[in-house]
Structure 1
């Protein structure tokens, strides 16, 4: 269990921790000189007859150092709010209570310190003030202990209470999330090297693991050594104070506020959608555009607030908001955030991250608010089902897994509704709800019916054009997967690159069939060069207009390929060219084909090689990226012919 002390300056936080644990958490010369905590201090206490160890985070009480207090408060399990008997409730007492409440700390106690300096009437008055202070806070109803760390009176009763709370809390059960530690200190130790400390928010880590610092350049570091709850260990887990010795990075390359995370869930964001509650003691409502300081993990970043689901956020109420930050931070679903005012002198609000991948546009639409409602569901299965129910174009499970702090998409796949459509391969991991899949099916049939009515002499549009007509915003990988399924169940038919309804087809006349028989051997003989319509008309003794009409009809039926105007290839030849393109792409790390490589492999001129590659781009075998044509690994075009 991690306990965070909180309270006004000089109300005895460090002294109490020393009385409970025997450890002086003031470790800096400046702290010793001034008699106050400036940095975070740590101490530990073993729970009798248990393997548990309680960790204490002693935080500064001075108003100017509240940002340091926030860095230590995130991730605590239990809050100790201290009030000196002689001073009573003071400004930072209120601020620290607001921080604990807005961070969602539900377990805690109040300690009236310096009880030896007050008589019974004074202690009763302070108790009454404390009871009033706790109203409308997360610690309402918390037990109150009066003690004196100087004389020892009442210290043992508090210690026994903390033991009991630790036993009740027990060890945190693994929840499947990846390892994340909020870095609040970094230093160098002789014989160890670079060390970072912080609270483990999720997951487990072991000596030898590779991690990354986020935000950061993404370079991996190796765990050289571990201390959890101030003991050397081979593994550490969520809920522990942890010191991690790192290989592969220098102390000056680490900053407080970064996260040490598993590589699979490393992310950095400057827009966060969240649920936010304005502190009930605020004098006025929170408006969109209000400048704030955003505290998340151990980071503090200036930014602004946009209220999404109402005009303003009144004191004591909760709303959906977007936090727009001036610098990127690490943030995951469920992380707690605290907002202070622009001058960082007053705590305003707190809440919970819903989505670290907040959109720039359409952030207030009914669709987006429905997605945030889904993300607010308490369980992973509920969030996945909720998103599938409102996402018309499906859910990117890899993106969602990273936002949820998961190492892989498997936990998401495990809770997918049975009727959901799931595409999982090397390039994509996407899911579509049953209702949405039915709607896509209807839109495809409707688009094809309309196309056939407008163009009765054509077989149908190619797959890329059909997507633009029916589902232009659907991810292309999911679209092509859906086409395969619709073809398999007979909803549509695919011939070459063209898609059509099974009942529709371009019929050949007797003249068309006669000309088709004449051109077939010539197209086969032409090889990779292909045949021009005028040359075929001349060689077959047919008029050019009739030849062009017949060739176009054959191409519409998928029996020929028209690469550019009047240039045709047989299906067999185009399959060989596609196989070459696939082979060349397989030799590249980016699965890319260049015009030069394709030219050399086919023996064609540069112009013709480019024409063929651009045709493959149009029909969905390749995708143009700069000067390269990258293979679409989800495309099944020519796969059967190649086999």
Structure 2
């Protein structure tokens, strides 16, 4: 079933509330002060049933200029509007301002209602209709039907109801494939229930007992019950007026303008890139840095307008701008907003949100202007590339990039792969892609770190991976490994024996260093399974400055095997020790330490060092009676 919201608009005392009462039988003025003063101050809500059982919500907005901010909160979610003009007064200031607001916020359907025809003669009513027709030229109401009514004589009400139904039938349905969000327009407490919030549901559907989040606070809330038009329901749908019972929240913890939505579906922000338009008939202009009231959804905020390509935006002009707000809010790309002057309060324009999580832009920056163009009308590939570039260093998944850039998630992986094939994006893992320029940045950083290391340590085969991660300032080990894996694939770096070096780096020994290598290797070949303690051996050569570095390089190359802090052996003897253990393990269920020592003809300390090294590297496994080969031991 299709759902929708009908709203009112028009000057104060032009009969909007009485008109709703005539259509629905519901009085939307609920406050004592409203009854006393005879004017609407807060938003009012009602509903109406159409012939085939469709129930539509109706929002009554205040018409007084002092309550325009309340009117703006009510416009959020309107599918169609009744622009109300009294026959005895005609067009008034709020008639014009409300029409401007409706146009800015993208309302695209409505009917013009001439009320109080009983208080004016037919000629005056016709004259008012002509004036209104002239007013709405060039707006979404230019071809709208006009219905004169008299609430007190019950004239025109049935025709108006039929007209509304005809318009409603032609409205497109709300998409329920998107995640739900409910901008709060009212908060109150009911005895026995606790806190209740109301609003028009945007997108998706919401279910009873569903866990949701309150934004911009970004904390969880539990939905105990749901009402639509004072009827309990198990779920509510996009386009319906909805009341949610949030028992775990106090009334004072929620305010108009907050949003109830799914977890991780909204992103609190204090900035937005926008396309901004100044009303064509205003006498004012927007200057760079102007402080304004910003209205979006049901929220009112203060902020500054930063014009990105000029110093002043005049009547009828449009440009890209950045809104810098004074408190956090949540927005959606494509959402409409209105701006009013800080003082005097007057509607001067509005526009469309292009980016909900932008970086701060410099003015007259051509890259920023081109980015705004892409955000407004770019291709899917352009927008994904831009999102990856603008979120440099954040390592967002494709889903997160899509959420922040309002990209349809379906087929997003295919788009990313196409960009990767064109070498615009780089795939780090199954769901993580970064911009090629960002990858080049990490490549240059890795090369610089390794260049410095190789220069300082020419005899070392490479740098330990943990040190490289740290020097590259990549705290997340998994991400660091993904980036290093790409650098290996692209043959920028190589890994040997657990050490990272530049791909073409090789240890080049000088003549004296080469002599030391031969001396060390010959020494350990001669010593076999009776090596001198490493500390003592190095101490014997303390007068040779390069000796420790050459010794370490042989360890890095695995020409020497360090068993423990005390002993090293030549690689050939290490392999002989492994072969000896295999031979013994084939004949005995367990190999005892003493037996192994005797078999090698070495000291107990060296035998212990060898066996513990075997254990550590998965070649053997210790048992109560000795050691056995591990199943995977080679």
TMscore range, shorter length: 0.7 to 0.9
Aligned to 2:9: 6
Shift of 1:79: 2.1
Aligned to 1:185: 186
Measured at CA, do residues 222 and 391 of structure 1 come closer, stay the same or move farther in structure 2, by a change above 3 Å?
Answer: closer
- 1:172-203 Cα offsets, whole Å, 9 max, x none, are 1223x322111111112234322110111233
Aligned to 2:199: 198
Gapped regions of structure 2 (runs ≥ 5) = 421-425, 572-634
Pairing 1:515–2:516 present: no
Aligned to 1:66: 68
Q: Distance in 1 between matches of 2:523 and 2:179?
A: 65
Within 5 A, what are the aligned runs for 1:139-288? 139-175=141-177, 177-216=178-217, 218-288=218-288
Aligned length: 554
Q: Does the 8 Å CA contact 1:285/1:315 hold for their aligned counterparts?
A: yes
Measured at CA, do residues 460 and 44 of structure 1 come closer, stay the same or move farther in structure 2, by a change above 3 Å?
Answer: same
- 1:151-191 Cα offsets, whole Å, 9 max, x none, are 2322222212221222222531223x322111111112234
Let me know the Cα RMSD of the aligned residues.
Answer: 4.3
Measured at CA, do residues 164 and 520 of structure 1 come closer, stay the same or move farther in structure 2, by a change above 3 Å?
Answer: farther
Measured at CA, do residues 227 and 444 of structure 1 come closer, stay the same or move farther in structure 2, by a change above 3 Å?
Answer: same
Shift of 1:147: 2.1
Q: Does the 8 Å CA contact 1:265/1:405 hold for their aligned counterparts?
A: no
Shift of 1:459: 5.1
Aligned to 1:86: 88
Aligned to 1:356: 356
Aligned to 1:494: 495
SS of residue matched to 1:16: helix
Q: Distance in 2 between matches of 1:235 and 1:453?
A: 65
Shift of 1:390: 7.7
Question: What is the aligned counterpart of 1:37 among 40, 50, 65?
Answer: 40
Q: Does the 8 Å CA contact 2:195/2:247 hold for their aligned counterparts?
A: yes
Shift of 1:366: 3.5
Shift of 1:448: 9.2
Q: Does the 8 Å CA contact 2:310/2:364 hold for their aligned counterparts?
A: no
Q: Does the 8 Å CA contact 2:447/2:502 hold for their aligned counterparts?
A: no
Shift of 1:226: 0.8
Q: Does the 8 Å CA contact 1:71/1:297 hold for their aligned counterparts?
A: yes
Q: Distance in 2 between matches of 1:238 and 1:498?
A: 57
Shift of 1:142: 2.8
SS of residue matched to 1:267: coil
Aligned to 1:23: 26
Aligned to 2:434: 432
Which TM-score applies when normalising by structure 1? 0.74
Q: Distance in 2 between matches of 1:272 and 1:568?
A: 64
SS of residue matched to 1:260: strand
Within 5 A, what are the aligned runs for 1:312-351? 312-343=312-343, 345-351=345-351
Measured at CA, do residues 361 and 454 of structure 1 come closer, stay the same or move farther in structure 2, by a change above 3 Å?
Answer: farther
Aligned to 1:580: none
Q: Distance in 1 between matches of 2:254 and 2:80?
A: 28
Q: Does the 8 Å CA contact 1:215/1:268 hold for their aligned counterparts?
A: yes
SS of residue matched to 1:416: helix
Q: Distance in 1 between matches of 2:333 and 2:530?
A: 62
SS of residue matched to 2:127: helix
Q: Distance in 2 between matches of 1:134 and 1:479?
A: 60
Aligned to 2:592: none
Measured at CA, do residues 193 and 474 of structure 1 come closer, stay the same or move farther in structure 2, by a change above 3 Å?
Answer: closer
SS of residue matched to 2:223: strand
Shift of 1:561: 13
Pairing 1:53–2:55 present: yes
- 1:113-155 Cα offsets, whole Å, 9 max, x none, are 1223333332332222212222343433333222222223222
Aligned to 2:581: none
Q: Distance in 2 between matches of 1:66 and 1:454?
A: 70
Which TM-score applies when normalising by structure 2? 0.75
Question: What is the aligned counterpart of 1:97 among 99, 114, 129?
Answer: 99
Of stretches 377-386 and 3-12 in structure 1, the one that deviates more from structure 2 is 377-386
Shift of 1:221: 1.8
Q: Does the 8 Å CA contact 2:488/2:494 hold for their aligned counterparts?
A: yes
Within 5 A, what are the aligned runs for 1:204-603? 204-216=205-217, 218-343=218-343, 345-360=345-360, 362=362, 365-377=365-377, 383-388=383-388, 396-397=396-397, 399-403=400-404, 412-413=412-413, 415-420=415-420, 421-423=426-428, 430-433=432-435, 436=437, 480-488=481-489, 490-495=491-496, 499-507=500-508, 509=514, 511-512=516-517, 514-515=519-520, 537-538=538-539, 541=541, 543-551=543-551, 553=553
Measured at CA, do residues 36 and 393 of structure 1 come closer, stay the same or move farther in structure 2, by a change above 3 Å?
Answer: same
Q: Distance in 2 between matches of 1:278 and 1:525?
A: 89
SS of residue matched to 1:273: strand
Measured at CA, do residues 31 and 467 of structure 1 come closer, stay the same or move farther in structure 2, by a change above 3 Å?
Answer: same
Q: Distance in 2 between matches of 1:106 and 1:536?
A: 89
